[in-house]
Amino acid sequence: MRLYIAGPMTGRPDFNFPAFFAAERDLIAAGHETSNPARNGQGAPDMGWVDYMRRDIADLLTCDGIAILDGWGESRGALLEVHIADALALPVKRVDQWIDGDA
């Protein structure tokens, strides 16, 4: 499955990139493909939250499910991404559940 990694970035040290990259590594090792918004970097200096979300939502739409990181419920962007996934009937699970194959 191709999984979108969703979690908090804003206000986190290093934008929480270490958690995104660790999740990506573990999901790939478990046989999944990933779409990792942290791979898109910080973009241009003039990019705002809406610009990032437009780009990230387009990436999300290429995926079969979402792998959520700790703290996702405190993230305005991750909440929106999970809402979209729910509306599209895409499965949403914690990273460890995707790795372990839990329902």
Predicted pLDDT at 46: 78
Predicted pLDDT at 43: 61
Predicted pLDDT at 4: 98
Predicted pLDDT at 68: 98
Which of 98, 103, 74 is closest to 4 using CA atoms? 98
Q: Which domain holds residue 61?
A: 2-100
Q: pTM of the entire structure?
A: 0.93
Total structural domains within the chain: 1
Domain of 57: which CATH number? 3.40.50.10400
Q: Coil, helix or strand for 78?
A: helix
What gap in Å lies between CA 99 and CA 31, rounded to an integer? 9
Predicted pLDDT at 102: 73
Q: What is the mean pLDDT of each run of 10 residues along the chain (103 residues)?
A: 95 92 98 93 75 94 98 96 98 97 71
Predicted pLDDT at 44: 66
Predicted pLDDT at 37: 93
